[in-house]
């Protein structure tokens, strides 16, 4: 029997600091009815479960819907672990920017200086900064089968080295002259992860711990290496294969690697972006790069660029937010916040189809609801 569970808790912030009170004045309290409606009715054909966490100086809300296991009908846990997918890119960007402020990387120098022999000899110089804002021109990862459920299931436990992954892209010509357009691609961030490891002499996972999770106390955030499992509690991830749901929770994440492999929770995502925006990870010399979108067009002609060096800029219901979405098979998630942290939104849903853009319809509903406010009285 189909079972739908919706829980919601509303908690309004008791006080605002003098600085954030003025900054948050444009936002009213989150709209609990709109948020609950955005995730209601689960599980359905496209999504098995969802969790949403809204915090900030304008107020708080949390809710879950659907099931974490279609067999047991156990409810979704608000503290559950999930794969954050491409939100990993924000962590990778922070590591590179930290190395820049330590004067161990020059963002204007070409990648070829730090990773000799990785990029093809006929590629032009690719400045390190262009890896972070998707203006490098590097082609996309080209692994046949990434959207074929049968291929995914057959290869789910395989290990890929970062070099193997980027080599699938680099057999193609560069897409455009670096710095002249923006094209979102995992290639740049897998390369950035290689750069971090080469410059520091430490693994990506070790850099994540030393530079981000330990300083911010993110005890439920980690890089899984080759471990395909998720710790408990965690909602199971499923793929629709010819009308049947197949559990794909266990999967090696070495293909996305530094572009999409991290595991976390909604609470830790909230703590991460809050600590980041408050300057706990980056100094004033490099912080502006998080909010500087290059003045170039999207390579596909869809409009102007909307990615900075690490973040994505969105305007929803008149509110500008910064953050990142992410997706893996069975998981779609994200973290967004206003710059003044008057509103912070973390979510995870469990879609049954991995679409090329990675974001199912329910995510658009969550985004719309989370950017709305109750009328001020």
CB 311 within 8 A of CB 324: yes
Residue 124, phi then psi, degrees to nearest 5: -75, 170
Report in angstroms the alpha-carbon separations of 30 from 33, 66, 213, 289. Answer: 9, 22, 28, 29
| Helix and strand element counts for the chain (H, E) | 12, 11
Q: What ranges make up the beta strands (E) of 289-359?
A: 312-316, 319-328, 331-337, 344-351
Q: Are 289 and 309 in contact (CB under 8 A)?
A: yes
Q: How many CB atoms lie within 10 A of CB 375?
A: 7
Can you read off the two tokens belonging to residue 207?
Answer: 């850099």
Nearest to 165 by CA among 261, 257, 96: 257
CB 280 within 8 A of CB 216: yes
Non-local CB neighbours of 289 within 8 Å, separated by 6+ positions: 97, 129, 132, 308, 309, 310
The one catalytic residue among 60, 62, 68, 86? 86
Question: Measured between alpha carbons, how far is residue 267 from residues 63, 136, 197, 335, 347 in Å?
Answer: 13, 33, 28, 10, 10
What size, in residues, is the chain?
377
Q: Helices 88-101 and 266-277 meet at what angle, rounded to 10?
A: 30
Note if 86 is an active site residue: yes
The residues that are catalytic are: 86
């Amino acid at each position: 029997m189909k079972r739908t569970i919706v829980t919601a808790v509303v908690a309004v912030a008791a006080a605002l600091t003098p600085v954030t009170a003025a900054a948050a004045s444009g936002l009213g309290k989150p709209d609990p009815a709109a948020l609950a409606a955005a995730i209601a009715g689960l599980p359905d054909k496209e999504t098995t479960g969802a969790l949403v966490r809204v915090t900030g100086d304008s107020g708080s809300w949390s809710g879950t819907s659907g099931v974490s296991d279609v067999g047991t009908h156990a409810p979704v846990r608000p503290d559950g672990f999930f794969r954050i997918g491409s939100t990993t890119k924000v962590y990778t960007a922070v590591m590179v920017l930290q190395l820049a402020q330590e004067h161990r990387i020059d963002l204007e120098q070409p990648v070829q200086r730090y990773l000799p022999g990785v990029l093809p000899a006929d590629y032009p110089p690719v400045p390190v900064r262009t890896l972070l804002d998707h203006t490098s021109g590097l082609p996309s990862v080209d692994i046949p089968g990434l959207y074929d459920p049968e291929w995914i299931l057959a290869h789910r436990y395989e290990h890929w080295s970062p070099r193997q992954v980027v080599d699938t892209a680099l057999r193609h010509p560069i897409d455009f002259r670096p710095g002249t357009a923006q094209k979102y691609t995992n290639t740049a961030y897998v390369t950035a992860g290689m750069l971090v490891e080469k410059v520091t002499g430490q693994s990506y996972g070790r850099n994540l711990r030393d530079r981000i999770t330990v300083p911010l106390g993110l005890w439920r955030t980690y890089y899984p290496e080759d471990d395909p499992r998720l710790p408990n509690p965690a909602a199971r991830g499923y793929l629709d294969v010819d009308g049947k749901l197949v559990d794909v929770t266990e999967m090696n994440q070495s293909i996305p690697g530094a572009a999409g492999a991290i595991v976390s929770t909604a609470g830790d995502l909230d703590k991460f972006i809050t600590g980041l925006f408050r300057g706990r990870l980056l100094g004033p010399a490099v912080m502006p790069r998080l909010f500087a979108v290059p003045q170039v067009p999207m390579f596909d002609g869809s409009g102007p660029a909307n990615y900075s060096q690490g973040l994505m800029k969105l305007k929803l219901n008149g509110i500008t937010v910064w953050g990142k979405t992410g997706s893996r098979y069975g998981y779609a998630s994200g973290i967004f916040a206003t710059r003044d942290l008057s509103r912070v939104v973390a979510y995870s849903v469990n879609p049954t189809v991995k679409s090329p853009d990675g974001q199912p319809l329910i995510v658009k509903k969550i985004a719309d609801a989370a950017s709305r406010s109750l009328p001020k009285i």
